[in-house]
Amino acid sequence: MKTFHEYKNPSLAVDLVVFGYHNNTLSVLLLNRKEEPFKDCWTLPGGFLQMEETFLGTCSRILQTKLGMDEVFLEQLYSFDAPDRDPRGRVIAVGYYALINPAKFQVVGGSMANDVQWFNVRKMPVLGFDHKQIFRQAHERLKSKILYYPVGFELLDDLFTLTELHELYECILQTTIDRRNFRRKILDAEYVINTGMKREGLKNRHPELYKFNKQLKKNNFQINVPTVS
């Protein structure tokens, strides 16, 4: 077999949209760049693909070194190819999004700890590169995916109440969902398992704690939201 002739190739970057849910708010982790281009501008955390690395490998490296986290839900989003998306030259970006529970991770990033910050998805600053577009696409993906696939629990503690799950859905979808109908859908789909325990110490009735049903047959439910027209 003849050996592979190496032409000049674009660089390949992986950019991450890391979603976290905390205090009834959906947030995204952004990095304040310390170098040109887009110095002092907020951007998605990202990194270049090393020659022997897989995309998930690059994701892990970014999550660990810049954000100090590991073992999170990751899904490939889309690849971005606009020729002028990076002023330094031709760079293709593969977008991934991650879902994490901020309570489980200390956001510290090596030397650039205080340059990493959570931003409410509804109060996003101007982003460098084409990261606004990547963020938007990730946000849309999350909103549509959560309707038919159980990803919500990735953002919550291992044990959660149905009210907490309900609030998460309302927050992500930015709409109101009838509490009782939501409850019926989630329970009928066997999305969750009742642990029998209750969350103590609240002012009012103590709600039951559920955990995610990992044996769930996928695509078993469909949350409906009122169509805005």
Partner DNA sequence: GTTACTTCACGTTAAATTGACGCAAACAAA
Partner DNA sequence: TTTGTTTGCGTCAATTTAACGTGAAGTAAC
175 binds, among DNA, its own copies, none (CB under 5 to 8 A by kind): none
3 binds, among its own copies, DNA, none (CB under 5 to 8 A by kind): its own copies
With CB under 8 A as the contact rule, the residue among 25, 32, 49, 136 that binds its own copies is 49
Pick 133 or 220: Cβ nearer DNA: 220
Q: How far is the CB of 191 from its own copies (least distance, A)?
A: 17
| Residue listed under structure tokens 């991450």 | 16
Q: Would you mind telling me the total number of residues written for the chain in this entry?
A: 229
Q: How far is the CB of 20 from DNA (least distance, A)?
A: 22
Interface positions, 78-137, toward its own copies (CB under 8 A): 78-79, 81-83, 86-90, 92, 94
Give me the residues paired with residue 194 across strands.
210
Show Cβ contacts of residue 197 under 8 Å, excluding neighbours closer than 6 positions. 159, 208, 209
163 binds, among its own copies, DNA, none (CB under 5 to 8 A by kind): DNA
Residue 149 as a binder of its own copies (CB under 8 A): the answer is no
Alpha carbons 57 and 110: distance in angstroms, whole number: 18
Q: Which residues bind DNA (CB under 7 A)?
A: 161-163, 178-181, 183-185, 198, 201-208, 222, 224, 226
88 binds, among its own copies, DNA, none (CB under 5 to 8 A by kind): its own copies
Cα 57 to Cα 64, 108, 194, distances in angstroms? 11, 19, 36
> Cβ–Cβ contacts within 10 Å for residue 200, how many?
7
Cα 87 to Cα 36, 37, 42, 84, 91, distances in angstroms? 10, 7, 16, 6, 9
Q: How far is the CB of 208 from DNA (least distance, A)?
A: 3
Q: Render 49-92 in DSSP notation, one character per residue.
A: PPTT--HHHHHHHHHHHHH---S-EEEEEEEE--TTSSTTS-EE
Residue 10 as a binder of its own copies (CB under 8 A): the answer is yes
Residue 44 as a binder of its own copies (CB under 8 A): the answer is no
206 binds, among its own copies, DNA, none (CB under 5 to 8 A by kind): DNA
Alpha carbons 154 and 170: distance in angstroms, whole number: 16
Pick 39 or 198: Cβ nearer its own copies: 39
Q: Is 78 within 8 Å of 95 (Cβ atoms)?
A: yes
Enumerate binding residues for its own copies (CB under 8 A). 1-4, 6-12, 35-37, 48-49, 51-55, 76, 78-79, 81-83, 86-90, 92, 94
